[in-house]
Amino acid sequence: MSGIMFKRVALIGIGLIGSSISHAIRRAGLAGEIVGSSSTAATREKAVELGLVSRAYETAAEAVKDADLVVLCTPIGAYGKIAEEIRPHLKPGAIVTDVGSVKASVVRDIVPHIPEGVHFIAGHPIAGTEQSGPEAGFAELFDGRWCILTPEPEADRLAVARLEDFWRKLGSQVEIMTPEHHDMVLAITSHVPHLIAFNIVNTAAHLERVTDSEVIKFSAGGFRDFTRIAASDPVMWRDVFLNNKDAVLEMLGRFSEDLVTLQRAIRFGDGETLERLFTAARAVRRGVIQAGQDTNDPDFGRRGKTDKAS
Ligand code: NAP
């Protein structure tokens, strides 16, 4: 096929992101062959059955043999061990990349294991859902979304350009930045919002004077949108917070200060402050829609539903 960019792509981990990459690669005809690895037999069987990979191996070492592009798609806590395991089996000239939600720790864990002549370029597609596993993926996941690449200053420019081209063909827009800057930006746009969602859902679950059934019954008041975010994979998110500690703590500090401002305005009946801050927040939502990162459909685009969050 004329559009083939890589003869063989190896996906290490075939969950939501790994399977979506497979769908998007096949949609664009970018690979001669896609292989994958998972230590779980059920995942391997499902991945082959769905046509996500032509072969699913038990170990990452087997999967990367002869691969021109290797994409790590597991929780980031597993990266160091995987990098060590695949090191002797990587093809000279291959590109190794990843999709992890934190970048500085990933670079720290992987770079020491990359042999001479193999190009490592860290990456993160800013696209996802709360679903997990090989059946969760779909080709359109990356369409119109950003993929951030954080190459080392000495990275091979041709390899970086090739990976940029690859992500564009998967449907993404690409931006390059340092791992540290990525981690700061994502702490406030993704990591802290997830932490808030996990926390508010648990706070509601611990209430004694409002029953669980009431929390669920009246969840369209806003709570259910937090439950969607809080349904994300616990292992993935455990690893995010263990690996982006400094940036998350910095953003949580700022969040807490701003929360105190709101708390004081409520306590002292300061409607002017509340209205001013809510108006500013509403403008941010308009910016997200104008940037094409969400639609302006009522009720967050839920189809076939007439109920409305209030
Ligand atoms: P997922 O659906 O849970 O899939 C994870 C995959 O990794 C599965 O194939 C799983 O294998 C494998 N895995 C889990 N633990 C492992 C370990 N210790 N060693 C080797 N393999 C392991 O997760 P995902 O949502 O695709 O996330 C994968 C990566 O993408 C994460 O690094 C995450 O930070 C990043 N990411 C996620 C999102 C999102 O919204 N979900 C968005 C952008 C980036 P089994 O099937 O055998 O369990």
Angle at 23 between CA 58 and CA 233, to 5 degrees: 65
Q: What is the pLDDT along the chain (310 residues), one digit of tens a residue?
A: 449 999 999 999 999 999 999 999 999 999 999 999 999 999 999 999 999 999 999 999 999 999 999 999 999 999 999 999 999 999 999 999 999 999 999 999 999 999 999 999 999 999 999 999 999 999 999 999 999 999 999 999 999 999 999 999 999 999 999 999 999 999 999 999 999 999 999 999 888 778 888 888 888 888 999 999 999 999 999 999 999 999 999 999 999 999 999 999 999 999 999 999 999 999 999 999 999 988 888 766 665 443 333 3
Q: How far is the CA of 133 from the centre of ligand 1 (A)?
A: 8
| C-beta neighbour count of 263 within 10 angstroms | 11
- Give all domains of the chain, ordered by start, each with its CATH number: 6-177 (3.40.50.720), 181-306 (1.10.3660.10)
Strands 69-72 and 95-98: parallel
Probe ligand 1: pick from 45, 79, 148, 236, max atoms within 8 Å of CB? 236
Distances (CA, A) of 82 to 61, 75, 85, 124, 239: 8, 11, 5, 18, 15
Any ligand 1 atom below 6 A from CB of 99: yes
Does residue 15's CB lie within 6 angstroms of at least one atom of ligand 1? yes
Q: How far apart are CA 218 and CA 129, in angstroms?
A: 23
d(CA 123, CA 148) in angstroms, rounded, equals: 6
> Ligand 1 center to residue 273 CA distance, Å?
42
**pTM (2 decimals)?**
0.93
Mutate to test the pocket of ligand 1, among 12, 73, 150 (most ligand atoms within 8 A of CB): 73
